[in-house]
Structure 1
Amino acid sequence: MKHPGRTPPFRGPDGEPMPDSIAEIRYLRLGGIDQWVMMRGEHITNPPLVFLHGGPGFTETSLFRHFNAPLEKIFTVVCWDQRGAGKSFDPTIPRSSMNVEQFISDLDELVEAVRTRTGQDRVALFGHSWGSALGVLYSARFPEKVSAYVGSGQIGDWQEGEKLSYSFALAEAQRQGNRKAERALQAIGPPPHDSRSLMTERTWLQRLEGHLGIRSMWEMGRVLLGGPEASVFDLPAIVRGFRFSLDAMWREVSCLNLIARAPVLKMPVFFFLGRNDHWVPPETSMAYFESLAAPSKKLVWFEESGHEPFVDEPEKFNAAMAELVRPVTV
């Protein structure tokens, strides 16, 4: 049974819903299957911002809603649980449909729906981790529909990033004298990894870092399942969707090299990078940034952040979106 959740309206001083605001949740038919979409903004004339979560298959909608709600004052924020993820998970989804081309097509149908709903010609895209690869590939193919591109945990040469992530984890295990971690990492060997070995590497990396970004795992779980848009009933779909998506897509996505696939973007580009990101090492993001041709590009470092600057330093992230990104989307 699907639990779409609910999202509260924006209310004025009189307690009545604000005119021209938008606060809605619905399932859209994208690529032949129902996919969960939430749109929120204080005024529908604000530029649309589509959030592309990571994974593949790891919905971050609740995190973005919790930490980045101030953006709803200046954007119409669109959160989408991608095919196979979160509230869009369905065990009948064909595994064969879980490929990059299908996701680009799904995103294009979503963008068309957002353009129609808001009456705007273009959308801004914010892509995180896997979502940053999807966002770049979409922006390169449909530049006329994208006003600005923002990437965090930005993929460049994905294989190179995995090599650096594994090397860091192994070196950190040795530095800390953690023999159990060292043996586990040596057992899977260096990349390329399958999805199971990847999870081994990421699990040990997280433990060796001693945190999940700046936030504790407990707090992350509370946020993911808190708020009116989410429910504890979502947990099975979140877990199953992540495993299904990662297993189905890892072989393809982990071979992506955006330096070769998307050397040019025709809109303003922003990279918001966590200085302490060991999941997508910023050296690989920087290599892509330096090679990328774009009308303008801006790099912002988040010194206290790991893989999720929008969670680890939300005030700085929201301010950068307001001061740097919104002006170029109007």
Structure 2
Amino acid sequence: MRHLGKTLPFRGPEGTLVPDSIAEVSSPRLGGVEQWVMIRGESLANPPLILLYGGPGLTETRLFRHFNAPLEKRFTVVYWDQRGSGKSYDPRSPTSSMTVERFIADLDELVEMVCKRLGKDRVTLYGHSWGSVLGVLYAARFPQKVAAYVGSGQVGDWAAGEAASYAFAVAEAERAGNRRALKALRAIGPPPHSAEKLWTQRTWLMRLEGQLGPRRLWDTARIFLSRPESSIFDLRNIMRGFRSSLDVMWAEVSKLNLLTLVPALQVPVFFFLGRRDHWVPPEGSVAYFDALIAPSKRLVWFEQSGHEPFADEPDKFNTAMVELVRPVVVARGLQAQRPS
């Protein structure tokens, strides 16, 4: 791993280390492959929270560290660059290992490692976009290891979501009178798309939504380089990992339908949905939420958010995690400790 990086410890007002805090970076072998993991929290007594990023292949560590670092006060946060992404990207890794089953197995090894390191029995999972599929599939298979599941950009029927996203992009191009966008979108046609056609659709969608302007790109680049865990040398691998992971995994993941694969979960469920999400349109997320059977479930709308509520409305997101999710997780932990 070329740039493992470092992370600053938690210090009190006098500069002394905060007792029972944790701030460490490592590269454990998960599924036989070195993968970058960072664990940060002000108190080991707090419940562990594993972040599952989108893509497949897009590390979001820097975004979470920039917008959601306050969560480290009430959770022990685990940042994980999944196989093939970010600091875990290795062009020598065989593409045959980039399967949904392999990612579930990697996550299970990570959960076991985290629980052993922190002395816990369960973890909370936050899944974003592709991570929302990985998180649901994992929670369904290993409910005894999951205290709660939180999803945003929550995939339900992936194929239906892609069809809705494409239809929105075409309608937006027509509304804006953008002939170049219309020509490009009509040339690729409606889904199902190859990974290459998906890149075309997403690129035009971002342009139509104003996400590819010079100021937006500069702000994003500054965020990605703003922490001691980061390096300018990471940028190339971030994009290479995203593109290669998507190229390899898109044919498999784009066919997944959680409504049929996971109609029920045995853990508390939270959906944090951006009202303006046009990558994973929230109508599909709500359809899955309504159909999903769970011991408890709660849907929270982020009215000013698109695909990334944690970055679009970070204060509301952080508050919801602490005030809505954490009490449920803590209560389940207390129940688990009670003698039978």
The answer to whether the superposition gives a TM-score over 0.5 is yes
Correspondence 1:310 to 2:310: yes
Partners in 1 of 2:28 and 2:257 — Cα distance? 30
User: What is the match of residue 143 of structure 1?
Assistant: 143
User: What is the match of residue 193 of structure 2?
Assistant: 193
CA deviation string 1:135-186 (max 9, x = no partner) = 0000000000000000000000000000000000001101111000000000
Correspondence 1:234 to 2:240: no
Question: 1:226 deviation in Å?
Answer: 1.9
Correspondence 1:292 to 2:260: no
Which runs of no fewer than 5 residues in structure 1 stay unpaired? none
Tell me: CA distance 1:212–1:307, structure 2 relative to 1, closer, same or farther (3 Å): farther
Q: 2:320 aligns to what SS in structure 1? A: helix
Q: 1:299 aligns to what SS in structure 2? A: strand
Q: 2:287 aligns to what SS in structure 1? A: helix
User: What is the match of residue 155 of structure 2?
Assistant: 155
User: What is the match of residue 53 of structure 2?
Assistant: 53
CA deviation string 1:179-208 (max 9, x = no partner) = 000000000000000111001000000111
User: What is the match of residue 246 of structure 1?
Assistant: 246
User: What is the match of residue 68 of structure 1?
Assistant: 68
User: What is the match of residue 164 of structure 1?
Assistant: 164
Question: 1:218 deviation in Å?
Answer: 2.0
User: What is the match of residue 30 of structure 1?
Assistant: 30
Which runs of no fewer than 5 residues in structure 2 stay unpaired? 331-340
User: What is the match of residue 40 of structure 2?
Assistant: 40
Residue identity opposite 2:150 in structure 1 = V
Partners in 2 of 1:170 and 1:221 — Cα distance? 29
Partners in 1 of 2:67 and 2:229 — Cα distance? 14
Partners in 1 of 2:272 and 2:13 — Cα distance? 35
Partners in 1 of 2:44 and 2:220 — Cα distance? 30
Question: 1:217 deviation in Å?
Answer: 2.5
Identity %: 69
Partners in 1 of 2:155 and 2:129 — Cα distance? 6
User: What is the match of residue 130 of structure 1?
Assistant: 130
CA RMSD in angstroms, aligned pairs only? 1.1
Q: What is the correspondence of 1:81-96 to structure 2 with a 5 Å cutoff?
A: 81-96=81-96
Correspondence 1:276 to 2:293: no
Partners in 2 of 1:49 and 1:269 — Cα distance? 14
Q: Which runs of 4+ in 1 moved over 4 A?
A: none
Q: 1:59 aligns to what SS in structure 2? A: coil
Question: 1:242 deviation in Å?
Answer: 0.7
Partners in 1 of 2:98 and 2:225 — Cα distance? 25
Q: TM-score, normalised by structure 1?
A: 0.98
User: What is the match of residue 217 of structure 1?
Assistant: 217
Question: 1:210 deviation in Å?
Answer: 1.4
User: What is the match of residue 18 of structure 1?
Assistant: 18
User: What is the match of residue 184 of structure 1?
Assistant: 184
User: What is the match of residue 326 of structure 1?
Assistant: 326
Partners in 1 of 2:161 and 2:325 — Cα distance? 26
Partners in 1 of 2:13 and 2:209 — Cα distance? 45
Question: 1:212 deviation in Å?
Answer: 6.6
Correspondence 1:118 to 2:118: yes
Partners in 2 of 1:53 and 1:136 — Cα distance? 13
Question: 1:13 deviation in Å?
Answer: 2.1
Partners in 2 of 1:311 and 1:115 — Cα distance? 27
Question: 1:216 deviation in Å?
Answer: 2.1
Partners in 2 of 1:217 and 1:158 — Cα distance? 28
Partners in 1 of 2:4 and 2:66 — Cα distance? 17
Q: TM-score, normalised by structure 2?
A: 0.95
